[in-house]
Structure formats: structure tokens, C-alpha cells
Structure 1
């Protein structure tokens, strides 16, 4: 892993440090888990390429079902090399128009909306990230999983291509599983 860029290592180290602190009350655990996921989402942006042109005014991340993830993403100053420094975080309800977003994070509890969301995301080249088991099988690009009290992620390459997204090899190197 020493060949990974220091930025990715920094993001992943932050995520792992936060996971190591999970010996707190349940509410503290959830907040730290959300922080880890927000750090991962921020880090993913460094290693994703969209096949279509990105908006020149920055990346828009839509969040379905998690005010805490939304808050933590908004609190982090996410800067994209070679892109605008502006990253906008917006609340998305399952029936909303998704055409203006680049990334969609879907929290647990929205399985019934997956089919519609995936169809729309494929049409608009939107990277999809979910935290519920089966997200990749439903057409998602990245799925968070917990293994031995550590948040990790799996990637579905073919789904990502259908969403107009390609991952750099450095991100694939650190994924728990690639399908």
C-alpha cells in the first residue's frame, strides 16, 4: 500500500482512526461511523472519473436519508484537484429530480426506491454509494460494509460503467471486494 498517494492514505487513516474509537456509547458510535463514511465519500471523489463532462462549477453530492452524513460532508472542506473547489451537499428525497447531482449517497431504509434511483442515476451519470446490503446487486456502484468493526467498501465496476463512472486503480486497490 506504500504506492498509494498520500492523500488517499490520509483519508483512509482518518477513517480507520475513527473506527478504532468505536468503544463509546451507541449514539457516539453512530456519529463516528457517519464520520468515517463521510471521509470515505470525500476520498472517493479523488479517484473517480466521469465519462461525461463534469459541471465546471464543482461536484454536487445528494444525500438520501441521513442528515448526519449530509452535515459531516458539508462540514468537511472537500477540494478536488483540477476541478472547482466548490462541492455542494444537498438533501434528496427518493422522488426528487436527480439531474443536477454527480454523486448520490443512499442511507439505510430506502430499498424500495433503489430501482427508480438506479435507473435515473444511470441516465444522468451519477455515482451511487449505499450502506445497505444488496446495494451493489440492485445496481449501485459502491456499497459500505462492516467487517470486524471496521467500515470498508465494495465496488461494482460494471454498474459504475453503466452510471458513466470509472474508478482509478488506486481506489480499486483498497476496496474490500470488486465485482
Structure 2
């Protein structure tokens, strides 16, 4: 059981590590258009991303799929940039509690597909940790759960900042989205360069 918690912690630390800020940027870009009242939609969105990266993380760690690490390292900032750019065209529902519009399903699909790419990025790190373990099922599960917990912490921080900025400082939601998405897009471009 101790091994499980070691990999859980490693997954959590990997996603929340400021040195690996590309994953943090992606989660921030996913959340930028949402408010605290829409936490259920964000949870579905982040879970779609988790499902995607869990699939490729497992397949790549098990050696079922092979890929060019250089290509993945290029694609990850592109996914961040595309997510941030799509935020520029987002129109918020007229009611704060309105369900996500029909484009919500497209966002969930993109989060899943982009999660597939990010999972390949996580896999080289996990493979280096596992070495020649005989069974990787438990470490893989624990690592994925740690990643998910870390993402939820990032989501909670972003949604709290959004709440404070929009509700307490009376910033327009559209302005919040443009500022956050613009910062993320700029950082993604610097990662690409």
C-alpha cells in the first residue's frame, strides 16, 4: 500500500510542479471560460482530459504505442494554444447558472483528444520511475489518481480566482476570459519557440 501512495504523490507533484507548467497552463486554459457556479461542467471537462491522458499513459507505459518525444513536446504547447484561442470566441450564457451551450460537447471532445497527447508526455516520466517493475497496474492507477487530484487543486485555485475577480472586484467575465486566455496563449507561444 505504501507503494500506491508513493506513486499517488508522484502524480500529484508532477502535475502541480511549477517546473512542468505546461500541464498547469492547459488546465488553466480549460477553466478560463468558467465560473465557480459551473464547477460541474469543469469537473466533466477535466475528467475528459484525465480519461484521454490515462489511456495513452497506460498504452505508452506498457509499450503498446511508440511515438516521437520531440513531436509530443511540440504538440503539447499547440494544444494549450488552441484551447486558449478557442476561449477568445466563447460567448458566456446569459444566466450564470445556465447549462453549457451546444459547443460544450465539442470542448469535452477536444479535452479528451488533447488528453491523449498529454498522456504521452507524462509517460516518459512515469516509465523512468517504474524502471523494470513486474506489475505496473497499481503504480499506473496511483499515478493517474495523483494527476487527477492535482488537476482538481489547480481547478479549485483558478475557479476561486475567477470568483474573486468577477464577483468581488466586478470584473466583466468576458474580460477575465480574455486576460487569462491571452496570458496562457502567450506562454504557449513561448513554449513553442
Say yes or no: TM over 0.5.
no
User: Higher helix proportion, which one?
Assistant: 2
**Which structure has the higher relative contact order (CA within 8 Å, separation 6+)?**
2
Q: Please give the TM-score of this superposition, normalised by the length of structure 1.
A: 0.31
